Amino acid sequence: MDLKVMLTTFGMIFLAELGDKTQLATFAFASESKTRLAVFIGSAGALVLTSLLAVVFGSAVSRLIPANYIKVGAGALFILLGLWMLLSPESK
């Protein structure tokens, strides 16, 4: 196992997840529930499953498309979505 890759992935995902809508939804569920352990297990399980799907599909796609193209495409998609959110009439 590559420890550098694991720690880099952990750090980036941890920072990306701070304050996002998933964390806010978990916060809301925990504030309403008396069984906080169930909220934690459900939230953690969902994050693990979505991460598993991303790894499986990312691995499959990388066999067809070079990693550099995937990175450029993902970056372009983030920029386009950001511009769309900023310029969309509904966001004003």
Domain ranges of the chain: 3-91
Closest CA to 12 of 61, 74, 63, 77: 74
Residue-wise pLDDT tens digits, 60-69: 999 999 999 9
pLDDT, block means (10 residues), the chain with 92 residues: 93 86 91 94 95 94 93 94 86 52
Please tell me the predicted confidence (pLDDT) of residue 88: 84
Please tell me the predicted confidence (pLDDT) of residue 89: 79
Residue 36 burial (CB < 10 Å; 0-12/13-18/19+)?
exposed
Residue 20 carries which DSSP code? S
